[in-house]
Amino acid sequence: MTTLSFALNHMTAPALSPDAFFGLAASLGIDAVEIRNDLDGNAIIDGTPPSEIKALAEKHGLTIISINALQRFNEWNETRAREAQELITYARDCGAKALVLVPVNDGSGQADGERQENLRQALTALKPMLEDAGITGLVEPLGFEICSLRSKTEAVEAIRAVSGENRFKIVHDTFHHHLAGEEKFHPEMTGLVHISGVADPDVTVSAMRDPHRILVDSTDRLDNVGQIRKLRENGYAGPFSFEPFSPDVHQSTDIQTEIRESMNFLAAKA
């Protein structure tokens, strides 16, 4: 197999400006990044024009693989349609290849039948919007017990039901895969993999939350190495994007070294 291909999500170092964040990625030999619309005081939320983000990515020789994310995408309404169009347009204009689609995660919309119908409705509405802009929709199931879309299999079934295979892919998030307890992998439908580890020996799986998510090392409880290996052995050849949410990572005084150590660990093991 080819060597591991890494990407960097802005959540890895959310306090950095886009220019500094892109510079960090480039310094690590990473050529793919994910930008976000949920970082206060930072692009996209601060009004930075997409042309500026595109120019910065070009300056550092980077590909923007996604904007993360359209929230509550499977609760389709006029507000969601407007948010989707704004983000899809921004993605197109900044050169991003895809938009991550995050489901409702508050305990609502979980009923069997209802959640599948809501998902198909949203995908049906999003498909022509994404097609017009030439953008891929990346559906990201979340493993939390209160989430309205926990199953990657259910996501793949809905994508196929709306004949969306050429416009939608799924995100395999190693944290959420572990939480959901889902055994099935869908490498042929996977467009992006998010990686993060959990080392805390005391937290139960059902109690794991975003602040537990650190860079992957030998203490990892989520079997990132096994998940990555299985995806690659079955044909996934895309990037593995670091997405740690832990304040300990965000407050690191040497994030470059910590990311490089995680890259080296995964390259050796996976």
- Dump the DSSP string for 203-232: S-GGG--GGG-B---TT-SS-HHHHHHHHH
Phi and psi dihedrals of 46, rounded to 5? Answer: -90, 5
Phi and psi dihedrals of 37, rounded to 5? Answer: -115, 20
The answer to whether 168 and 139 have CB atoms below 8 angstroms apart is: yes
Find tokens 């990572």 and name the residue. Answer: 249
Model-level pTM?
0.97
3 secondary structure, DSSP code: P
What would the pLDDT profile of 119-170 be if each residue is shown by its tens digit?
999 999 999 999 999 999 999 999 999 999 999 999 999 999 999 999 999 9
pLDDT attached to residue 41: 82
Domains identified in the chain and CATH numbers: 6-201+233-238 (3.20.20.150)
CA atoms within 13 A of residue 47's CA, in its CB half-sphere = 0
pLDDT attached to residue 139: 98
pLDDT attached to residue 145: 96
Q: Give the residues of the chain that fall short of pLDDT 50.
A: none
Maximum CA pair distance of the chain? 48
pLDDT attached to residue 242: 98
pLDDT attached to residue 42: 85
The string over 40-55, giving b where at least 16 C-beta atoms fall within 10 Å of a residue's C-beta and e elsewhere, is eebbbeeebebeebee
Of 193, 157, 199, nearest in space to 176 by CA: 193
pLDDT attached to residue 74: 98
Of 160, 181, 169, 165, nearest in space to 227 by CA: 181
pLDDT attached to residue 1: 67
pLDDT attached to residue 216: 98
Rg from Cα positions in the chain: 17
